[in-house]
């Protein structure tokens, strides 16, 4: 249970005749309404020869729909703001606006669920935009392509082996209009989406307006999902690359259980024990005391299918990468072999609980979380999430750490400095 | 059949209700502001000190002090501080600008008093331990050298140097040898002058509850403050670097970072509110002229924005983008074309109405709840103003005419008065 009844997120839910799930969370204290539309499609649903498509498609969703030439203009005109993101599992669109203008948001979102109106010109421009995004975030940044290298090292079969931005620019370059249409009709449909309204929207009004705008959109045949399971890794994988960067870096990726697995929360807590806050183990030991790393981080990808437990660090100048690597493994050994002290376990649980509350002050955040939990199976899980962290025991942590942190479950990337002058060394 | 062709009826925002902060000058002269409200039992604390980078004679000093307050005090070792803050689930975020520095703290209400105890120990009795200082310098130096490989960082630094002059407190940027000039004495000296100054102030927002709020007040009133206005250096004249275009060559990069802009004015300048409107039209939102032209029409970039940076004694307008190297020259040409259009042609009513509504919606988001309001309020109080400034901005948004915007564009948007910085390469 949440800390108090006050902390419960109350909501009501209906399913429209066309399969669209609608959730309303009423918060009369806010003058705003948030509208969140989650589509159950991500980069894991892509064809291996057309990676980056789900994300490119998200860009096209702003190019106008069948009855509305521009998505953004009418929304801005009523004081609204919007954005979207795509990840390996889902594509999520969200907006906030003054609550009395809720209809405008629903009108826009329902029309682009009904039918897009993309043109060759629109596709051409967004291909360019996405390619510039690819460069800006991954190729033109120091260490930017590490994640592009790590995924295919850790996954050999499952579509998580390519990143959401795409495996290579050429896949985006070659995307054609027919494929785009095909993708829309096989993934965008009321029966493949979740609509959440939050803020100053009483449930009755929310349901009535949602039914008005979305009720007549027809169901579509969703392309059935049959993803190949990643077979258990059998031996340690290692890759070394050289790049024009100032300091060596190290990336470790262990396979971990899927989002709905009973051990998921314990894995997340292990990542917190290792690197949440300045008192965390990796920071304390490897940065402050041994001074082997200038920066170190542990996190989980948190994906629906079995994901990755990641540890990434930049080595202190002059420290050999093998020495840093060994120090990380020594810390992991401690988690595997020693029972975590009660005080330390309580600490990471407190952090999770407090951070959860801090995040809940924002109605958009609440709307997104509700959509996410509904997509995972049941929005009601939002109210038992912190409890799941509370229930994790020290024994469970040790058992799971033993299972996770095995060499044959690990992919290691050495991302090393290439011996050529850097920019700041050549420029005058 | 429902009508999907016509925009649904909508309302415009005429008034915004937001919690008015209460102010009190405590016995020691410290201004304490409170914004009570919210659902959850959590509190946000904002501490602000006249400790921005401009006040230190050596670069890096102000940042180091701001970061190292949490690395050990007379009462607590750095490890202890981190342990306790993490155990309480508190979030401690130091921040720094050119003018002020401080930190934002999030805490559960039930831990507010002990958390405040830790924070006040950091403010009043930091020790700046040698070892923590060395780790800080090594970490930051490495971060700096990584940043030097980013086109965006290089352009940002060069741009402030060009606008204010390389030796001006607003213009100077970090160099590698700065990391060797910092020592404990320098830090202690700066801390004494700035973190116990009577020009500090504190903002408490959220739901502390009456008895904890009283206790907070007592603790804040017992912070020792001194008045040493004359120890803070005065503001030197600004001498921009001569020449219009400044290139930071980074020949290996596939994208260039652009910064184009000019000096403007402080937040209390009579043109400031109107300039906010002008800036929004030009590059301040997703539907801005720059975004529509350079991203949505031409596909040259993932994003282009403009913004105003009001400082205590100056201010500037900046346009920022990262573009494919081959499109650098064309992008600059288009930016100037948009400026000239704003000078030559009055803004149409439809676009202006849209921007009015968008900006009012944005204010509604910025003032939704105590924490969002605290964020907005902090920059206003830091500039020596109060919430009537927000009223003034709202009146301007509602009443400004195309003629006034045109005059402002003629005054401030002449391409010949702009400075340009390009980090990367021009292409071809």
Please tell me the predicted confidence (pLDDT) of residue A63: 87
Q: Which residues of A touch B300 (CB under 8 A)?
A: 128, 132
Please tell me the predicted confidence (pLDDT) of residue B427: 63
Q: Which residues of B touch A212 (CB under 8 A)?
A: 2
Q: pLDDT band for B231, please (50, 70, 90 cuts).
A: low
Buried b (16+ CB within 10 A) or exposed e, A31-63: bbbbbbbbbbbbbbbbeeebbbbbbbbbbbbbb
A85: pLDDT strictly greater than 60? yes
Q: pLDDT band for A5, please (50, 70, 90 cuts).
A: low
The whole-angstrom distance between B197's CA and the closest CA on chain A is 28
> Is the CB of B301 less than 8 angstroms away from the CB of A129?
yes
Q: Which residues of B touch A314 (CB under 8 A)?
A: 142, 146
Q: Are residues A270 and A417 in the same domain?
A: yes
B424: pLDDT strictly greater than 60? yes
CA A176 to chain CA mean position, Å = 27
Q: Which residues of A touch B91 (CB under 8 A)?
A: 354-355, 358
Please tell me the predicted confidence (pLDDT) of residue B338: 98
Q: Which of A175, A199, A214 lies at the terminal end of a domain, its last residue?
A: A214
Q: Residue A143 and residue A246: Cα distance in Å, rounded? A: 10
B227: pLDDT strictly greater than 70? no
Q: Is A99 domain-assigned?
A: yes
> Is the CB of A361 less than 8 angstroms away from the CB of B248?
no
Q: pLDDT band for A6, please (50, 70, 90 cuts).
A: low
Averaged pLDDT, A307-330: 97
The whole-angstrom distance between B70's CA and the closest CA on chain A is 10
A27: pLDDT strictly greater than 90? yes
Residue in the block written with tokens 């590698």: B176
Per the structure, the count of domains in chain A is 2
A427: pLDDT strictly greater than 50? no
The whole-angstrom distance between A99's CA and the closest CA on chain B is 10
The whole-angstrom distance between A279's CA and the closest CA on chain B is 5
Q: Are residues A181 and A328 in the same domain?
A: no
Please tell me the predicted confidence (pLDDT) of residue A2: 47
Q: pLDDT band for A329, please (50, 70, 90 cuts).
A: very high
Question: Which member of A100, A127, A361 has the closest CB to residue B40?
Answer: A361
Q: Are residues A164 and A96 in the same domain?
A: yes
Q: Are residues A328 and A253 in the same domain?
A: yes
Q: Residue B230 and residue A192: Cα distance in Å, rounded? A: 66
> Is the CB of B13 less than 8 angstroms away from the CB of A98?
yes
Q: Is A219 domain-assigned?
A: no
Q: Are residues A265 and A171 in the same domain?
A: no
Please tell me the predicted confidence (pLDDT) of residue A428: 35
Q: Is A221 domain-assigned?
A: no
Q: Are residues A158 and A252 in the same domain?
A: no
The whole-angstrom distance between B149's CA and the closest CA on chain A is 6
The token pair that represents B285 in the structure block? 């939102």
A263: pLDDT strictly greater than 90? yes
> Is the CB of B302 less than 8 angstroms away from the CB of A129?
yes
Interface probe with A: pick from B38, B138, B141, B145, most Cβ of A within 10 Å:
B145
Q: Which residues of A touch B148 (CB under 8 A)?
A: 246, 422-424
User: What percent of chain A clears pLDDT 90, i.e. is strictly above it?
Assistant: 88
Question: Which member of A136, A244, A360 has the closest CB to residue B40?
Answer: A360
A312: pLDDT strictly greater than 80? yes
Instruction: Kindly report, as residue ranges, where domains of CATH 3.30.830.10 are found in chain B.
Output: 22-231, 245-424
Interface probe with B: pick from A246, A269, A272, A363, most Cβ of B within 10 Å:
A246
Please report which helix (H) or strand (E) contains residue B46, including its range: strand B42-49
Question: Which member of B108, B255, B298 has the closest CB to residue A135?
Answer: B255
Where does residue A329 rank: exposed (0-12), middle (13-18), buried (19+ CB within 10 A)?
middle
User: What percent of chain B clears pLDDT 70, i.e. is strictly above it?
Assistant: 98
Q: pLDDT band for A421, please (50, 70, 90 cuts).
A: low
3-state secondary structure of A27: coil
Q: Is A193 domain-assigned?
A: yes
Q: Is A232 domain-assigned?
A: no
pLDDT tens sequence across B332-384: 999 999 999 999 999 999 999 999 999 999 999 999 989 999 999 999 999 98
Q: Which residues of B touch A141 (CB under 8 A)?
A: 150
Dump the DSSP string for B264-294: ---TTSTTHHHHHHHHIIIIISTTSHHIIII
Residues facing residue B301 across a β-bridge: B323
* A:B CB pairs within 8 Å: 232
Q: Which of B197, B40, B30, B198 is nearest to B112 (CA)?
A: B40
The token pair that represents B105 in the structure block? 């703290």
Q: Residue B259 and residue B269: Cα distance in Å, rounded? A: 24
Question: Which member of B86, B106, B255 has the closest CB to residue A358?
Answer: B106
Question: Which member of B16, B89, B138 has the closest CB to residue A353?
Answer: B89
Please tell me the predicted confidence (pLDDT) of residue B199: 87
Please tell me the predicted confidence (pLDDT) of residue A257: 98
> Is the CB of A291 less than 8 angstroms away from the CB of B79?
no
Q: Which residues of A touch B107 (CB under 8 A)?
A: 354
Q: Is A220 domain-assigned?
A: no
pLDDT tens sequence across A340-350: 999 999 999 99
Please tell me the predicted confidence (pLDDT) of residue B14: 87
Range scoring the smallest mean pLDDT among A20-34, A168-182, B240-254? A168-182
Q: Is A224 domain-assigned?
A: no
CATH number for the segment(s) B245-424:
3.30.830.10
Please tell me the predicted confidence (pLDDT) of residue A1: 39
User: Does A156 contact chain B (CB < 8 Å)?
Assistant: no
> Is the CB of A132 less than 8 angstroms away from the CB of B299?
yes
Q: Is A64 domain-assigned?
A: yes
B148: pLDDT strictly greater than 70? yes
Averaged pLDDT, A233-248: 96
In degrees, rounded to 5, the angle at the alpha carbon of residue A351 between the alpha carbons of residues A346 and A357 is 125
Residue in the block written with tokens 């100077």: B172
Q: Which residues of A touch B7 (CB under 8 A)?
A: 74, 77, 104, 107
User: Does A356 contact chain B (CB < 8 Å)?
Assistant: no
What CATH number corresponds to the domain at position A414? 3.30.830.10
B201: pLDDT strictly greater than 50? yes
Q: Which of A164, A179, A214 lies at the terminal end of a domain, its last residue?
A: A214
B319: pLDDT strictly greater than 70? yes
> Is the CB of B354 less than 8 angstroms away from the CB of A128?
no
Q: pLDDT band for B233, please (50, 70, 90 cuts).
A: confident
Please tell me the predicted confidence (pLDDT) of residue B210: 96
Q: Which of A154, A182, A214 lies at the terminal end of a domain, its last residue?
A: A214
Q: Mean pLDDT score of chain A, rounded to an integer? A: 94
A423: pLDDT strictly greater than 80? no
Strands annotated E in A280-421 = 293-300, 308-315, 410-417
3-state secondary structure of A242: strand
Q: Which of B295, B52, B259, B279 is nearest to B153 (CA)?
A: B259
> Is the CB of B149 less than 8 angstroms away from the CB of A127?
no
Question: Which member of B17, B79, B88 has the closest CB to residue A284?
Answer: B79
Q: Are residues A161 and A18 in the same domain?
A: yes
Interface probe with A: pick from B2, B7, B209, most Cβ of A within 10 Å:
B7
The token pair that represents A399 in the structure block? 């058992």
Q: Residue A267 sits in which domain range?
A: 237-426
Return the DSSP state at A192.
Answer: G
A78, A97 contact by CB (below 8 A): yes
Residue of chain B nearest A199, judged by CA positions: B368
The token pair that represents B40 in the structure block? 């959850």
Q: Which residues of A touch B136 (CB under 8 A)?
A: none
pLDDT tens sequence across B248-293: 999 989 999 999 999 999 999 999 999 999 999 999 999 999 999 9
The token pair that represents A157 in the structure block? 């079969």
Q: Are residues A273 and A310 in the same domain?
A: yes
Please tell me the predicted confidence (pLDDT) of residue A117: 86
CATH number for the segment(s) B22-231:
3.30.830.10
Averaged pLDDT, B53-69: 95
Interface probe with B: pick from A6, A29, A244, A277, most Cβ of B within 10 Å:
A277
Averaged pLDDT, A212-231: 96
Q: Residue B200 and residue B189: Cα distance in Å, rounded? A: 17
């Amino acid at each position: 249970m949440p800390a108090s009844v006050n902390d419960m997120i109350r909501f009501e839910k209906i399913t429209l005749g066309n399969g669209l799930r609608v959730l309303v969370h009423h918060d009369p204290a806010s003058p705003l309404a948030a509208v969140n539309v989650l589509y159950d499609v991500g980069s894991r649903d892509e064809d291996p020869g057309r990676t980056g498509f789900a994300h490119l498609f998200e860009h096209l969703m702003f190019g106008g729909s069948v009855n509305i030439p521009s998505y953004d203009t009418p929304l801005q005109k009523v004081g609204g703001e919007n954005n979207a993101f795509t990840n390996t599992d889902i594509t999520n669109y969200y907006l906030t606006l003054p609550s009395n203008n809720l209809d405008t948001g629903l009108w826009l979102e329902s029309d682009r669920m009904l039918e897009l109106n993309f043109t060759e010109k629109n596709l051409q421009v967004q291909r360019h935009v996405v390619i510039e995004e690819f460069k800006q975030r991954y190729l033109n940044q120091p260490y930017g392509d590490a994640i592009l290298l790590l995924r295919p090292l850790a996954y050999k079969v499952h579509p998580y082996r390519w990143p959401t931005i795409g495996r290579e620019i050429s896949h985006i370059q070659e995307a054609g209009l027919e494929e785009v249409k095909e993708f829309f009709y096989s993934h965008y449909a009321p029966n493949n989406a979740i609509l959440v309204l939050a803020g100053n929207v009483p449930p009755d009004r929310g349901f009535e307006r949602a039914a008005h705008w979305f009720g007549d959109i027809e169901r579509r045949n969703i392309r059935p999902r049959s993803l190949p399971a990643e077979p258990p890794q059998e031996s340690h994988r290692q890759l070394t690359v050289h790049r024009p960067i100032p300091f060596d870096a190290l990336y470790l990726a262990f396979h971990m259980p899927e989002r709905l697995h009973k051990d998921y929360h314990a894995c997340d807590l292990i990542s917190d024990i290792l690197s949440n806050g300045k008192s965390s183990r990796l920071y304390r030991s490897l940065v402050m005391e041994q001074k082997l790393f200038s920066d170190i981080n542990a996190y989980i990808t948190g994906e629906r299918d079995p994901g990755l437990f990641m540890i990434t660090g930049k080595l202190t100048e002059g420290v050999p990468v093998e020495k840093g690597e060994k120090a990380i493994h020594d810390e992991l050994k401690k988690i595997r072999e020693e029972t975590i002290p009660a005080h330390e376990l309580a600490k990471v649980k407190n952090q999770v609980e407090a951070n959860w509350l801090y995040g809940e002050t924002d109605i958009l955040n609440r709307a997104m979380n509700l959509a996410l939990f509904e997509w995972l199976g049941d929005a009601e899980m939002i109210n038992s999430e912190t409890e799941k962290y509370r229930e994790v025991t020290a024994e469970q942590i040790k058992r799971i750490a033993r299972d996770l942190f095995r060499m044959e479950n690990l992919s290691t990337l050495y991302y090393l400095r290439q011996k050529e002058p850097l920019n700041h060394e050549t420029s005058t | 059949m429902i009508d999907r062709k016509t925009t649904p009826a909508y309302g415009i925002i005429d008034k915004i209700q937001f919690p008015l902060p209460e102010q009190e000058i405590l016995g020691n002269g410290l201004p304490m502001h409170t914004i009570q409200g919210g659902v959850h039992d959590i509190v946000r604390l904002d501490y602000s000190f006249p400790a921005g980078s401009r006040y230190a004679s050596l670069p890096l000093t102000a940042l180091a002090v701001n970061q190292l307050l949490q690395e050990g005090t007379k009462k607590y070792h750095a490890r202890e501080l981190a342990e306790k803050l993490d155990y309480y689930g508190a979030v401690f975020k130091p921040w720094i600008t050119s003018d002020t520095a401080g930190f934002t703290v999030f805490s559960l209400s039930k831990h507010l008093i002990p958390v405040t105890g830790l924070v006040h120990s950091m403010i009043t009795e930091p020790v700046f331990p040698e070892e923590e200082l060395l780790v800080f310098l090594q970490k930051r130096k490495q971060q700096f050298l990584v940043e030097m490989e980013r086109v965006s960082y290089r352009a940002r630094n060069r741009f402030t140097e060009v606008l204010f002059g390389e030796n001006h407190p607003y213009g100077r940027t970090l160099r590698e040898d700065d990391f060797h000039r910092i020592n404990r004495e320098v830090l202690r000296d700066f801390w004494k002058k700035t973190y116990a100054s009577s020009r500090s102030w504190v903002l408490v927002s959220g739901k502390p509850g009456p008895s904890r709020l009283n206790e907070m007040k007592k603790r804040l009133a017992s912070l020792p403050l001194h008045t040493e206005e004359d120890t803070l250096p005065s503001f030197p004249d600004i001498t921009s670097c001569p020449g219009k275009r400044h290139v930071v060559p980074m020949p290996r990069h596939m994208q260039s970072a652009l910064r184009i802009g000019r000096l403007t004015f402080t937040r209390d300048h009579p043109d400031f509110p109107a300039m906010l409107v002008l800036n929004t039209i030009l590059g301040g939102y997703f539907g801005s002229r720059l975004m529509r032209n350079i991203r949505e029409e031409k596909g040259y970039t993932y994003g282009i924005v403009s913004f105003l940076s009001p400082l205590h004694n100056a201010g500037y307008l900046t346009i920022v983008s990262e573009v494919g190297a081959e499109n650098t020259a064309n992008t600059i040409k288009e930016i100037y074309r948009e400026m000239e259009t704003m000078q030559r042609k009055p803004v149409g009513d439809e676009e202006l109405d849209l921007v009015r509504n968008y900006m009012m919606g944005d204010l509604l988001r910025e003032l939704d709840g105590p924490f969002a309001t605290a964020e907005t309020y902090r920059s206003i109080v830091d500039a020596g103003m109060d919430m009537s400034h927000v009223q003034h901005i709202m009146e301007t948004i509602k009443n400004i005419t195309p003629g006034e915007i045109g005059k402002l564009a003629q005054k401030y948007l002449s391409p010949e008065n702009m400075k340009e910085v390009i980090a990367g390469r021009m292409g071809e």
